[in-house]
Amino acid sequence: MREHFADRLTAAIRSKRTAAVVGLDPLFERLPTELRPQQATTAAAAGALEAFGREVIDLVAAYVPAIKINSAFFEACYEAGVAAYYRLIEHAHLRGLLVIGDVKRGDIGPTAQLYARGHLAQPEFSDVDAARVADAVTVSGYPGEGGVRAFIEAARQTGRGLFVLVRPSDPGADRVHEFGGPRKFYEHMAALVHEWGAGPELIGRCGLSCVGAVVAPKDAAGTRALRDAMPHTVFLVPGYGAQGASAAACRPCFKPDGTAAIVSASRSVIYAFEEQRYRERFGDDWRACVAAACHEFASDIGRLTALGGTV
């Protein structure tokens, strides 16, 4: 069996010297002109997304330990898009990247088992290679403990992982998560995620669990409180770049020693060719724009975590 997810992630971060993760959220209407689909069919659109995704993976593979592929953008092209999603997972694995399937799935226990089958477990079909399965997925804990435990069981059995939504980056999320008295709902979810990820069979040699959490860097004090409440939990941190958070704002998501978090950026990297500052340097060479943006992002996050004990 493959090693524990958190150990594999830790090793990959050390190897690339950064906890930066590129998010692949491609809209076919924003692809580079040469890749935009010529026909309005699902096959053409999915083919364009896949071609772009393969190139992005090839461009960023040297800089980052992992890629996060957002299922929604592929599901928009129906089953053709879903097929492209799985092939891109396989391609990223071929390029030596860890893959986080950003699927935000969640349901009651018996149903969550089926989501785990399609997105996290060992494939039970002769025509699906294990390389088509992501190393970790994002999970919604809203439908309850039974559903999360179905994903945890699949992760435990296969050396994979999951990231449960605790504090999403949507501004409107506050109306949902800030519910409660002195203790907010997202803090309650954090306590549950900490508990769900505890136990020797879920903790890797690095001391971190295969059960992580999605934690957006909102107020620094709130983030530090979450960090303290979840000592063995890896944070998947959205919000950097196009969503407005700086590297410094992400710092409280890491432990003082610079471990236990990964920061994802999607639009600021994959659409870098739309930005004036890259166009001025690279003209119409969209690949150079994406590579440069990824390199800057990876360096930015790399400097952050190299800070070590100086929070």
List residues near its own copies by CB under 8 A: 25, 27, 39-43, 45, 70, 72-73, 75-83, 86, 104-109, 111-112, 114-115, 117-119, 124-128, 132, 140-147, 149, 165, 168-177, 179-181, 185, 188-189, 192, 238
CB of 298 to its own copies, least distance (A): 23
- Residue 127 vs residues 40, 123, 131, 132, 210: alpha-carbon distances, Å: 29, 9, 11, 10, 27
Specify the 3-state DSSP secondary structure of 100.
Answer: strand
Nearest one of 56, 11, 29 to 206, comparing CA atoms: 11
Residue 104 annotated to the active site: yes
- Looking at beta carbons only, is 55 or 145 nearer to its own copies? 145
Of the residues 68, 104, 218, 255, only one is catalytic, namely 104
Output the CA torsion sign for 92, 95, 100, 102.
negative
- How long, in residues, is the chain? 311
**Helix segments in 138-273, DSSP class H:** 145-158, 173-177, 185-196, 220-229, 247-250, 267-270
Contact between 303 and 243 under an 8 Å Cβ cutoff? The reply is no
- Looking at beta carbons only, is 108 or 311 nearer to its own copies? 108
- Looking at beta carbons only, is 49 or 60 nearer to its own copies? 49
CB of 241 to its own copies, least distance (A): 13
CB of 271 to its own copies, least distance (A): 12
CB of 272 to its own copies, least distance (A): 17
CB of 197 to its own copies, least distance (A): 15
Residue 203 DSSP one-character state: B
- Looking at beta carbons only, is 34 or 79 nearer to its own copies? 79
Output the CA torsion sign for 293, 297, 300, 303.
negative
The residues annotated with a catalytic role in the active site are 104
